[in-house]
Each structure stands twice: as structure tokens, then as C-alpha cells.
Homo-oligomer: A and B are copies of this chain.
């Protein structure tokens, strides 16, 4: 039966044994080689943490005009030269020529993919998968000169290679943090949400998170997830949260560790019954069990975030 319980401000509980764990501190400081930072084409607004994020992530990708935004983040070439991405990928209709030339001179691999059947965001995700899992991708790109698009066919070579290689690789978890996915053109915000669902379905090895100036945004998969964080991080940085059935009406089966925990709670954007302005009271974790994948946003205090990176 549907229920809501109001909890005390600090709650300790034994979380259920969950296979899907999302570690909020881990999103900020993965400190692992299997981690990638993806920059999409909007102004970089997370200025107080950007350089630390860059250093904490192993692989750095700019999606097309995202390269402009990285370039424009710095006001001189010396600073710029310390933050060189590994790849620039996309149809390259947005990246400026002078920006492209700057990064080419710095040895960045430019992978042009003109296909209009995938967005630059999707192309980037496939590239990151190939980078981490496909020896064939590295063989092909290593053996080619830069003039040949690194041996990748320039319409949908990444797409083709991804689908061919996907059959043989062995997954490991990869932390993927994306900047500038939300708060731009609204159809692009919604496209980013579709990518949360799509990536969970096709590439479940990603721990995918969007960082905005106000939120961490991620997907809670069907069956649920345990959200972990340090006590200090929660007290200093975590504010409100929402569990949002963006794609379809669904049911929140149970939550534990929220100020207002719910059970068997039907939720729908259409009907207007949506869990927003809730907050974490679990001291070091919360858990969410949902019938269908659902979008979780966790408000963060951007000013204090860098203390935990």
C-alpha cells in the first residue's frame, strides 16, 4: 500500500545488499584509469571545480563545439596547453577552425563523423567505449596518420566499429562524467535525458552522471540503486533531491534514507505526482527501488564541492 514516512534529520540504517551502487564522491574523484570526462557544446559553468575534475578524470573528450568551450575556458595559450583533450569527435560543424587547428597542433586526435543518424553526444559515448574496450580501435588508430581520420571511416565509422567490437569485448565499470548536458536548449536537455536511458540499456558498464551548476543527475535503474557518499560530503554539499519519472509513469517501490521516504508510490509527470524537494537524511547512503528507470537529481553546493575532490 502507498505510504509516506517523515524521518528524523539523521538516519542510520542497514542498506539492502544492492548490486548497483552510485558513489557520489566517486563521481567527483574517480582516481581510476577507467574514467572519462566528456564536454558538450555549452559554456563551461562549473568553474570552481573544472580544473580538479579534469585532473581526476583519465580520458578527456570534446564533442564537436565542446572543444570551443574548452578553448574559451582559458584566456591564454599557456593555460590552455595544460588541458588538452584526447579526442575531438562529431560532425565538426560547430568547432571553430582556429580551435581545431590549435588542438591539432597539440596532437589531439580529431575524429570526424558526419553521420546525421547519431548526435555528437552518442558518437562520443561510442568512442569512449571503443577506447576502453576495443584493442582493434587502438590498432586501427595507431597505424594511421592523422590525415586519414585516424583510420576511422568518416561518416559512421565509429558506429560501425562499435557495433562490430561490442560483440567481443569484456565490460568493466567506467565512470563517465558529462559537462554541459543540461540547461541549454531544452530539446538538448531532453536529448541528454534520453541518453541516460539509452546508455543504461546498451552500455550498462557506465556510471554516467551529469554535473550542472546546481545538480548531479543520474539514472536509478529498474530494480534500484544504493547511493553512497561520505558523511562530511553530505553535510557540506548535498541539499535537495528529486526522483523523476521523465520517460513514463512508474512506481517508486521504496526509498530509504530520505526525509520523506515513500513506499509503493505511483509517480507521473502527467498527473503531476512527482517526488521533488525531498532530501537525504541517510548519514552515508540512501537507497531507491524503482519499477522503471528513473532520473535522480541531487542538488549540490557548488562552492563547497572542491573540498571533496
In residues 15-67 of chain A, which contact B (Cβ within 8 Å)?
none
Q: A246-B190, A249-B248 are in contact. Are A270 and B185 (CB under 8 A)?
A: no
State how many angstroms separate the Cβ of A41 from the closest Cβ of chain B.
12
Q: Chain B contacts of A189 at CB under 8 A?
A: 189
- Tell whether, in the assembled complex, residue B197 and residue A212 are in contact, meaning their CB atoms are under 8 Å apart: no
- Tell whether, in the assembled complex, residue A187 and residue B246 are in contact, meaning their CB atoms are under 8 Å apart: no
- Tell whether, in the assembled complex, residue B187 and residue A182 are in contact, meaning their CB atoms are under 8 Å apart: no
- Tell whether, in the assembled complex, residue B297 and residue A185 are in contact, meaning their CB atoms are under 8 Å apart: yes
Bound CA–CA A197/B189 (angstroms): 18
- Tell whether, in the assembled complex, residue A197 and residue B269 are in contact, meaning their CB atoms are under 8 Å apart: yes
Number of A residues near B (Cβ < 8 Å) is: 40
Residue from the set A190, A197, A215, A292 with the largest chain B CB neighbour count within 10 Å:
A190
- Tell whether, in the assembled complex, residue B270 and residue A186 are in contact, meaning their CB atoms are under 8 Å apart: no
Stretch at the interface among A143-151, A160-168, A271-279: A271-279
A244 at the interface (CB under 8 A from B): yes
Bound CA–CA A36/B111 (angstroms): 49
Complex A-B, nearest 9 residue pairs according to Cβ-Cβ distance, in ascending order: A187-B242, A187-B276, A247-B269, A186-B297, A247-B270, A194-B272, A198-B272, A183-B183, A190-B244
